[in-house]
Amino acid sequence: MSRRAVPKANRTAAGGEGSRMNLRPIAGPVLIALLSALALCGCERERRRFETPPDNASAPRAETPRTSALQPAQARGDAVRLPAGNGEGYVENAFAVAQGKRLYRWYNCNGCHAQGGGGMGPALMDDQWRYGSEPAQIFSTIVQGRPNGMPSFGGHLSEDQIWQLTAYVRSMSGQLRKDVEPGRADSLQGNEPEVGRDREHPKPGAK
């Protein structure tokens, strides 16, 4: 029995419709796969964008520990600045003593030494000091600092200010002349108050 011929136009239409029907089942999975790949790429980019930096433990560390700017100069490895003289022009100068008193308060020296009577730090009312009570020795103590509590102020004060502070520290122990402004009230001086001497030994002609 012979097959009936199908018109060419009908065959083309039927073939095209069949192709579209065959593509529909394939297009769904392909589209899902493409969307999944794009989503994975997007997640990867987001992960890289917000990735935390590497652990600092792997970074190289300094060989020497960090030290405070107020530690003794020797502990920090700083060059020690020594005085050129022995405080000439400062230790017997009333203005220098007054400026030193102001610096003493500004840098909170009384936090350790109080008003000369001592506390956490040694007393300054006498001249029996471990590192010496001469002007150059006091200068070096202020600049360098000393072990067990005395910080270095060499990087915070000029040489002029250090000498002024030295002059005031010496005045607290009565090591200056009487015509130089005293560092503390007469009642706190190591020597006998002038008012008391006047009462015990009245001036000639006084009633």
**Exposure string for 110-135, b = 16+ CB within 10 A, e = fewer:** eeebebbeeeebbebbeeebeeebbb
Distance CA 169, CA 55 (A): 51
Residue 152, Cβ neighbours under 10 Å: how many? 24
126 vs 129: CA distance, rounded Å: 8
Spatial separation of the C-alpha atoms in residues 89 and 160, rounded to whole Å: 11
Q: How confident is the model at residue 161 (pLDDT cuts 50, 70, 90)?
A: very high
Looking at residues 29-42, what average pLDDT do you find? 70
Return the percentage of the chain with pLDDT > 70, whole number.
Answer: 47
Q: Is the pLDDT of residue 157 over 60?
A: yes
3-state secondary structure at position 146: strand
Give mean pLDDT, residues 40-52.
52
The ranges assigned to domains in the chain are: 73-188
Task: Give the pLDDT confidence score for residue 66 in this predicted structure.
Answer: 41
Evaluate whether the domain defined by 73-188 bears CATH number 1.10.645.10.
no
Residue 188 has pLDDT above 60, yes or no: no
Helices assigned H by DSSP within the chain: 8-49, 73-76, 94-106, 110-113, 135-144, 159-172, 194-200
pTM (whole model) above 0.75:
no
